[in-house]
Amino acid sequence: MGQPQKPIAAEQQILSLGRVLQSIREEDDVDVLIEIVISYLQKEFDYKLIWIALYDRLNHVLFGKGGIMPHKDTSFLRQKFVISSGDLLEQVVIEQHPLGVADLRAEIRAAEWQKVAEKFQIQGTIIVPIRYKDRCLGLLLLGSERWGYLLTGEAKARLMMVLGELGAVLYQHEMHLQQKQTRRTDEPLLELLEKLGNVNNLNQRLELAVQATHKFVSPNRTNVYWFEREGRYFWCRMSNQLVKIDFNSSTQPAAGMTVQELSDFYYALSVNQIVSIGDARSSLKSHFTAKLLQRLKVRSLLAAPIIWQKNLLGFLAVESNEPRIWTDTDKNFVQGAAGLISLVAPNENTESTIKQIQEDAQLTSQVAQGVFNEHELQETLQICAKRVLTRFAATRFLLLQYDPEQNNYQFIYQSQPHNRRPLKFALDTLKELDGQLLQRSTQAVEIENLDEDLRFFNWRPLLLENGMRSLLICKCLHGQIPPALLVIAHETHRSWTTLEKELLWAVSQQIGVIVRQWQLHTRTQHQQKITFAFERCLNILAESENSKIEAGKKNLESTALEQIAAILGCPLAVLFSWSPGEKLVEIIPGVTASSQFGIFADASISIQTEALIQWALDTESYLTLKVDDLPPETRRWLNTPDKGQIFLMTLRTNTDYKPTGVVLLADTQERRWSEQSLNTTATLISQLAWWRRQKQINHLLESTTEELQQLNWYKHRRLEEIQRITALSLSQIHDLGIPANELTQMRYQLLLRQLDHATTSMSGLLKLEQWQLHKSWETMPIASLLKRSLERIDNLVKQQKLWIGVHGLGQPIQDGESPKSCLLPRGVASSNAQSGMAIAGDVMKIELVIHELLVNACNHSPSSGRIDIWCRRLTDHKPTDIKRNISQLGQDSAIRVGVACQKFLELSITHNGAIEPQLLTDLDKNTLKDVLAPSNLNQPPGLHLLICQNLMQELGGEVNFYELPDNRVVNRLLLPLASNDS
């Protein structure tokens, strides 16, 4: 065999690494482990300074375990190093990442190591944590004389493997040491539980718990503090340094601490949180920790709450005069001992607890019985309030109801001692957070100290002013804004047990049933009131009064305003009335029940400039606003209190009809009226608007009818007299005889025939058309009709020097031939074709319509202007109202019209005159938007043209008016043509 080869450098490093890892795994002594690692580092790495230290997490210090230095004295490397805030060692311990320093001599954050580096010329330095499972167990410091000397990748890997193995072994060693040092809490607690079961007195049990806790934890003092809810203070009930403290004893005063002094400490205990205050550590805020330690005159404290059924009974406290770090074992034992006390504490007052439960059950049953028997609300609440105040040792019983109109809570019932006055104020509506708190609550909301608690903050000033310091609040009914609340108040700071809060919750729910019944009864009464007011108002509007008497109309409107104001409970109701076209309003008073309201008698209110009226007119429905929103100009004539509420609504019947007034209602305070009341008020005001409009229309129609009747009577009697005189004159002419001259005789006979014809037609008019139109049936050639019509306007044509042309009379009977224009000079007869085109119907009325259209055209035409009359035959055309007209003319006439209306004559009169566009629009629609509003169709010439339009519809024809693109105005007349056999 040959000589074994010498291992190369890389293999030698791996072998050395394996040996040191194996040595670390097999060694149990920590000091030997440190020596093995230091020896390996000195051999394998070229560093002049090597230091290994172990980290104490509780005290935040490093314990040096040795190393090497350029100087032979290594005692410095075995010292205790307190970690300073912000230095390099703390950075490595906290971050648990290696840290390199190029020159340790220039690093001011290295503290004492900077001096060592300056002494031994150490520059490049590496600080590496020794860690395991995110826990820092120590650190390694390597220093070199070279600047910026760093480890290579391979060397760094070997170093981390060695330190990782070292960290694992140190962690196991620490865990094993903790297990050996950890005290077991189960055996002492079981022993304490056994002792507690052998005694019946609570003070003896507390004494046993204090002795066991003091023995196990070994503090300076161990105390049990008991909590008194009425007064909210703690008193020392048991201590290891005192004899038993009897609560009822007057010889030994108890050391008391108020909750106000221990606020944060108290709230932590209330949520079952153990409080630990030790060396530089505290579970409470720093500023309160110092205050608490000063109050208890200790430097360390460990307190565990004693809680039964979520109620804080007190706490078990271990106190030390020196700074001390409480271990988990200490905390577990104190918490366990406090838990055992909470189990045995309720047995002390078992009999009184049973009696209290019976009384609570009796209380709830009596309230339920009051609901069942449907007693009066006040009587039932009086019994309930008396028992609740006694049970809860409270001073005030308050039942609140939300008023949506006032947007606040009103007291509907309250009970208090005889030496206390009832509350006369109202509480604002809840803030959003407080409302959500009550919505989510399933038991009474407790306010132990109203001075400090931020809940129900907007109620606090008024409640504190009236001597209330602690509250229990329950919602009696559910809703987004709780409709009813029950409040129990006390004059001192105190707290209540969970059982008491649950009891009050049960009582409040039963009271909620009573309140609901009362609300339904009130709502029914309100509904009946609205119904009565509604019926009364409608009956008032339906009353038949003489519309001619203005005072009677005002009285009727005022009575309606009284009923409308009663629905909203307003002390002021006024109607601002006007007619279309007026500029100032008429003030009609309805209700003035308060001296705080008024309207100045000499007030002159303009429709266009008054803000209230314009606001109301711009609103489709009703409008509510505050008095503060009124402009100064309005306040000059309207006298209202500063915190009033205004309701406005326009008397509007239809969007096409103009408003005729505004109703103003006012109240002395800001209210939020219910939707039902507002809708009812709006309905009645709308009904009042329709009633006023109907009254105005009736008044207008009655007056118009009366005037037309007088006019018709007058004209008819005049026609009778003219007819009598004409007939008498004609009789006298006949008596005189016929002249002998032949020419005179012919003229005489012609005049006689004309007089006879006029008298005959006048007799028919007087006989058949005294109070209604009579429709006759006759035919006439259109040429003759036009000739007679043109003769009637001959003087008017000559005065204005107009030229009139007639076109289309030469059109043959057959369709399709081109029309020819012609003039009808006086005395010239029409051709055969002209005479063959005749119209059928009431010729006299048709002639009057044509005459009216020609007169209108002449009046609108400029001087020396031109008027064209176009005639065109139409076939198979029916007027829009042909069916209605046929039904009005009778069966025989209907047959004739049906035959005649198969063909029509279109007569178009065109001229270049100007006509008002609005008049054309109104005639085109042929309807009045608002009979009360001024219109072009209420007076000539629009009235005459409208009459012609309606009359022609009744006669089976049409009349239309429109403007051509070349600005010519066309009066289009559609006449039924007579058939050949008519």
User: Between 252 and 533, where is the model more confident?
Assistant: 533
Q: Has residue 683 got a pLDDT over 60?
A: yes
The pLDDT of residue 663:
92
Sequence-distant (6+) residues with CB within 8 A of 18 are none
Tokens of 173: 């060693």
What is the C-alpha R_g of the chain? 56
Tokens of 921: 């629009």
Q: Has residue 910 got a pLDDT over 90?
A: yes
At 379-391, the pLDDT tens digits run 778 888 888 888 8
Query: Rounded to 5, what percent of the chain is helix, strand, coil?
Result: 45, 20, 30
Alpha-carbon gap, residue 537 to 558, rounded angstroms: 11
Given a contact cutoff of 8 angstroms between Cβ atoms, the answer to whether 840 and 777 are in contact is yes
At 592-602, the pLDDT tens digits run 766 667 676 66
For helices 675-736 and 742-768, give the axis angle rounded to 10 degrees: 150
The pLDDT of residue 896:
40
Sequence-distant (6+) residues with CB within 8 A of 70 are 48, 49, 120
Alpha-carbon gap, residue 560 to 960, rounded angstroms: 46
Q: Has residue 369 got a pLDDT over 80?
A: no
Alpha-carbon gap, residue 91 to 113, rounded angstroms: 15
Instruction: Provide the terminal-to-terminal Cα distance of the chain, rounded to the nearest Å.
Output: 157
Alpha-carbon gap, residue 357 to 500, rounded angstroms: 10
644 falls in which pLDDT band (50, 70, 90)? confident
Alpha-carbon gap, residue 572 to 591, rounded angstroms: 5
Tokens of 337: 């001992």
Q: Has residue 264 got a pLDDT over 80?
A: yes
DSSP state of 348: G
The pLDDT of residue 545:
47
Chain Cα centroid distance, residue 216: 62
Cα 154–Cα 157–Cα 160 angle in degrees, nearest 5: 150
What average pLDDT does the segment 202-216 reach?
A: 88
Q: C-alpha distances in angstroms, 743 versus 86, 208, 747? A: 148, 161, 6
The pLDDT of residue 738:
66
What average pLDDT does the segment 644-665 reach?
A: 86
DSSP state of 481: S
- Min mean pLDDT across 144-153, 615-624, 813-822, 967-976 is at 813-822
Alpha-carbon gap, residue 869 to 872, rounded angstroms: 10
Q: Give the 3-state secondary structure of residue 539.
A: helix
Which residues lie across from 282 on neighbouring strands?
277
Q: pLDDT exceeding 70 applies to what percent of the chain?
A: 82
Sequence-distant (6+) residues with CB within 8 A of 13 are 44, 154, 158
Q: Has residue 104 got a pLDDT over 90?
A: no
Give the count of beta carbons closer than 10 Å to the beta carbon of residue 913: 17
Question: Which parts of 462-583 are beta strand (E)?
Answer: 470-475, 484-490, 572-577
What average pLDDT does the segment 168-180 reach?
A: 80
User: Between 772 and 389, where is the model more confident?
Assistant: 389
Using CB atoms within 10 A of its CB, is residue 146 exposed (0-12), middle (13-18) or buried (19+)?
middle
Q: Sign of the C-alpha dihedral, residues 367, 368, 369, 374?
A: positive
373 falls in which pLDDT band (50, 70, 90)? low
The pLDDT of residue 655:
77
In the block, tokens 């565990």 appear at 304
The pLDDT of residue 877:
56
Given a contact cutoff of 8 angstroms between Cβ atoms, the answer to whether 977 and 905 are in contact is yes
The pLDDT of residue 380:
76
Q: Has residue 4 got a pLDDT over 80?
A: no
Tokens of 1: 């065999």
The pLDDT of residue 662:
92
718 falls in which pLDDT band (50, 70, 90)? low
The pLDDT of residue 885:
41
The pLDDT of residue 819:
34
Given a contact cutoff of 8 angstroms between Cβ atoms, the answer to whether 122 and 146 are in contact is no
The pLDDT of residue 812:
45
At 105-144, the pLDDT tens digits run 888 888 788 888 888 888 888 999 999 888 899 999 998 8
- Min mean pLDDT across 109-118, 238-247, 896-905, 911-920 is at 896-905
What average pLDDT does the segment 260-275 reach?
A: 85
Q: C-alpha distances in angstroms, 790 versus 804, 811, 849, 934? A: 9, 20, 13, 34
The pLDDT of residue 247:
43
What average pLDDT does the segment 579-596 reach?
A: 79
443 falls in which pLDDT band (50, 70, 90)? confident
The pLDDT of residue 572:
86
Average pLDDT, the chain: 79
Interstrand relation of 661-667 and 778-781 (parallel, antiparallel or unpaired): unpaired
What average pLDDT does the segment 788-810 reach?
A: 86
The b/e string for 452-465 (b: 16+ C-beta within 10 A; e otherwise) is eeebbeebbeebee
What average pLDDT does the segment 388-417 reach?
A: 86
Give the count of beta carbons closer than 10 Å to the beta carbon of residue 100: 14
Given a contact cutoff of 8 angstroms between Cβ atoms, the answer to whether 776 and 842 are in contact is yes
Cα 60–Cα 65–Cα 71 angle in degrees, nearest 5: 120
At 274-315, the pLDDT tens digits run 888 876 667 777 677 778 888 888 888 899 999 888 888 899
Question: Which parts of 156-255 are beta strand (E)?
Answer: 221-228, 233-239
The pLDDT of residue 816:
35
What average pLDDT does the segment 665-671 reach?
A: 79
The pLDDT of residue 709:
65
In the block, tokens 């056999």 appear at 981
**Quick one: residue 407, left, alpha or beta (phi over 0 = left, psi -120 to 50 = alpha)?**
left
Interstrand relation of 866-875 and 803-807 (parallel, antiparallel or unpaired): parallel
What average pLDDT does the segment 867-890 reach?
A: 60
Chain Cα centroid distance, residue 469: 34
Alpha-carbon gap, residue 233 to 807, rounded angstroms: 117
DSSP state of 79: S
- Residue 580: asked if its preceding bond is cis (omega within 30°), the reply is no
Tokens of 815: 């369709």
